[in-house]
A and B are shown apart, each in its own frame.
Chain A
């Protein structure tokens, strides 16, 4: 069974600095998707970035970028120029391409604090 692990329950970063959140996953599939979701205090789940496993190029979305290491099954999220609004829970998630529905498996989350 696929699993997603986030080994950092909590992290903090100074405003304007860069922070990297770690995620590892376990799967025997070769084709799959990986995601980072952000959950601010409002509780809304917001899709931050998505990576297709067959694409070698790392996904980027403004200040958010990923480091996707397929062989190592690692999928870290880098937030550059951190802002106070980045404070949130961040969930790493996995979905393979074989299921007929969005079977998304979530990690336990990392709580990110941004220090002014």
Chain B
């Protein structure tokens, strides 16, 4: 398995509170991604990073921010959690050396009550 660790694996939080999810990789891959998975939608890209301090928005970025201060860490922050952000969040990494082929972490189940 690719060296990707997400933390926490499960979290329950209250509406209006800030939440930070962490993705840590040991593969030294350049690209890192945050997706959310919801029934009927598959996975949708929230934000991605193409290098340290280089990030950009995906298709469902509203309400989320990210930071990447080191190659190995990519943080996803929900500034003020809402019930619509209850989801399973996946981190992924890729290198694009031989074409796209993302490797995924094990996911974080976030429940906003």
Contact = CB atoms under 8 A, between A and B. Distances in A.
Interface in B65-94: 88, 90, 92, 94
Nearest to A107: B42
A15 to B, nearest CB: 27
A23 B18 CA distance: 38
Q: Indicate the member of A97, A102, A106, A108 with the most B CB atoms within 10 Å.
A: A102
Contact of A43 (B41, B92, B101, B107): B107
B42 A101 contact: no
B22 interface: no
Contacts, number: 56
Contact of A102 (B33, B40, B44): B33
Q: Classify chain B's interface size.
A: 20 to 34
Contacts of B107: 43-45
B42 A108 contact: yes
30 contacts: A4-B42, A43-B88, A43-B107, A44-B104, A44-B106, A45-B43, A45-B90, A45-B92, A45-B104, A47-B101, A47-B103, A50-B101, A93-B42, A95-B100, A97-B99, A101-B31, A101-B33, A101-B50, A102-B33, A102-B48, A102-B92, A102-B94, A102-B96, A102-B100, A102-B101, A104-B45, A104-B100, A104-B102, A108-B41, A109-B42
